[in-house]
A and B are shown apart, each in its own frame.
Chain A
Amino acid sequence: MSLQTDSRNFSERTTDGLGDSFMRSAVGSAQDSLKTRRLSAATALGDWEQWRNVGQLIRQHTLENLDYYLEQLAGNIERQGGHIYFAATKEEASSYIRDVIMRKQATKIVKSKSMVTEEIELNRVLLEAGCELTETDLGEYILQMDDWDPPSHIVAPALHKDRRQIKRVFTEKLGYTGDETPEKLAGFARTVLRQKFLEAEVGITGCNFAIANLGAINLVTNEGNGDLTAAIPKTHIAVMGMERIVPTLEEMEVLDNLLCRSAVGQKLTSYITVMGPSSAGETDGPEEFHLVVVDNGRSDILGSEFNEALQCIRCGACLNVCPIYRHIGGHAYGSIYPGPIGAVITPLLGGYDDYKELPFASSLCGACTDVCPVRIPLHEQLIVHRQKIVEQKRTGTADRIQMKAASKLLSSPALFGKTLRFAHSASRMMSKQGRIVRGPALLQGWIRSRDLKQPVRQKDSFRAWLEQRKGGSEQ
């Protein structure tokens, strides 16, 4: 799957999301529990705001000196006998990985969850090359078994599925015969996947942060699949977005604390591992280690007005507080990166042609900006996107005419007053039982999922009432 997960238009995707009552209740309760857990873990750290400052400082310092740290990383990986490959495009990245695997004549591949490998369409490329590929993160494995259903959350990819759906997938695809308790389902996946690990020739992982002065990568997980992916196969290929790097373990430690608390409300997740090519005498871990550093549009963001979006550490906290994500769900964004951060970076990586609606999928309430552990001004970046989209006249003609009319109306008190006076009678044709049910495009979006009251008669209006009160008090 590429950056794009759904080629239908935004309106069709959101209609799907709004109509999926199971998904909406699953997302709602997940948001509530993750929000509470994040808050208590953040409070427990003490002086959370200061920790966020340190997180922001580290990310900004690293981005400002990105070329330096990447060069240092490359030197340290090669010094240990590892390989590092710099890929300017997604095609370069996925072909390099395919070629490594072909050279080894390997076919059995295990993968642990990684967003950037989705972005570079690695699975498609490897499946076309005839590889037998297994996603080993429980959520990702469920999605793979369900004919590669796209992920809907950065941290919990199968959030939109319930246990009955998962049981059905396992039963149909794997001959599962147990019940639908999460313990039984997970236990079954453990047994199937354990065998895959033991047979695997190549392991592919993402990378939470690369450590420049050590020449290693850091993985932050709970299930243990990331570690097994990097321990058992003789070859380990790690893939990272070029901005996911820290100078030393000290910066990694701060960011991992922010990440774990923000993502899942844990102090540290069960497994935080720093890993590189195996040293002499060690008998597991990779004999051959490759790190693929991916640009794929990121350098165009660097130094632009969206530079701060590159601070992102992919915790998903902004998704968990977003009122829009709550209602339309992850799939409606049509991108592997949903939610507020997705609405900022998807148009940057994939262009406005396909994603011009995403920056408008926000109420600009700023909840995302408030929780971001590295202080990305998310809602302000959405406003910058909107300005650009409007300046480039990418909004629809009908929208533009209506916005122009609205701006005329709202900037003239006389015209506004007159319009109010006739609002009730003018809206009669569009209303039913005191509610507006039909209207021009701008209204449609609102009334599709919400009630809009018909304006009251002039004599019942607030202004008329106020005039009357004033008159009354003068007597």
Chain B
Amino acid sequence: MTVTTNKSANRNTNKEAFLNTIASKLGRERRTEVQRPAIQEFIPDSYGPLTTDDLVEILKEQCFFIHTQVIESTPEILQQTLSDLIEANGGGTVMLSGDRRFNEYGLAFPDAAVWEETAGRVENIRRAESANTAIVFADCALAESGTVVLESRPDQGRSLHFLPAHYIAVIERRRLVLRSTQAAAELNRRIQAGEPVGSAIQFISGPSNSADIEMKLVVGVHGPLRATYVLI
């Protein structure tokens, strides 16, 4: 496929000199059209065909290794499952994204804070920082790496996934794919078709962690201390 350069971009002399240096070091003129190699053809497929149940098994196994609890639930009992999890996290304030799926699944958390465009930067960050549990819906999930993928939106800020002490992501089974390859391909398809994507695309695999002290794993550093996925 061919990707064309955005010719309307502001040109500054700094940039031109910089890019001309590169072209001259490469021993050629500047390039204005380039053919990407078709890398997908070379990527090995080590799994073969998989059903959703297979994907769920792969996800559960991986989540064991990344210290993430997986709860299998259904739309009918989702409210109860989430309420139990909030309680298990020690109660406290809950913060939700403004995802319309909270309504669609008939979920109600009367005292919960919500990330909303009208609240503005300072207030949204304050709400997230004082929340004990965040609940979000995954845009898609990757079985192999135990990952939820989320895009930033006016009703779902970037720091919502990091500031609350506990993190719950609801995953609809039909949004489960094998690995990052499929998610990246779909996102890139949208980008090349000119469809909007969030200004941040976050691939989140379990709670935050660090091994900076003597290579000993500490779970819960700057982001959430604990992460739970609820499958429906």
Contact = CB atoms under 8 A, between A and B. Distances in A.
Interface string B124-167: 11000100000000000010111100001110011101110000
Interface in A61-103: 61, 64-72, 74-76, 78-80, 84-86, 88
A54 B188 contact: no
Contacts of B31: 65, 67-68
Contacts of A57: 37, 39, 42
Contacts of B107: none
Contacts of A136: 222
Contact of A64 (B14, B18, B26): B26
Nearest to A264: B211
B184 interface: yes
A189 B17 CA distance: 44
Given A182-B218, A250-B188, A283-B117, A302 B25 contact: yes
Contacts of B204: 270-271
A183 B125 CA distance: 26
Contacts of A80: 199
B3 interface: yes
A267 B192 CA distance: 27
A274 interface: yes
A268 B205 contact: yes
A370 interface: no
A275 B42 contact: no
Given A57-B42, A248-B191, A285 B185 contact: no
B5 A75 contact: yes
- Is the interface on chain B under 10, 10 to 19, 20 to 34, or 35 or more residues? 35 or more
A73 B33 CA distance: 14
B199 A278 contact: yes
B205 A269 contact: yes
Interface residues of A, number: 108
A279 B44 contact: no
A271 to B, nearest CB: 6
Given A47-B44, A64-B26, A283-B124, A86 B18 contact: yes
A284 interface: yes
A45 B46 contact: yes
A229 to B, nearest CB: 9
A190 interface: yes
Contacts of B5: 68, 71-72, 75
Contact of B158 (A51, A230, A277): A230
B22 to A, nearest CB: 4
Contacts of B187: 249
B209 A270 contact: yes
Interface of B: 3, 5-10, 12, 14-15, 17-23, 25-27, 30-34, 36-37, 39-40, 42-44, 46, 62, 66, 115, 117, 119-121, 124-125, 129, 142, 144-147, 152-154, 157-159, 161-163, 180-181, 183-185, 187-188, 191-192, 196-216, 218, 220-224
Interface of A: 26, 29-30, 33-34, 45-47, 50-51, 53-54, 57-58, 61, 64-72, 74-76, 78-80, 84-86, 88, 136-139, 142, 156-159, 162-163, 166, 182-183, 185-187, 189-190, 193-194, 197-198, 212-214, 216, 222-225, 227-228, 230-232, 234, 242, 247-254, 256-257, 264, 266-279, 281-285, 293, 295, 299-300, 302-303
- 4 closest A-B pairs by beta carbon, nearest first, are A46-B46, A224-B223, A75-B6, A75-B9
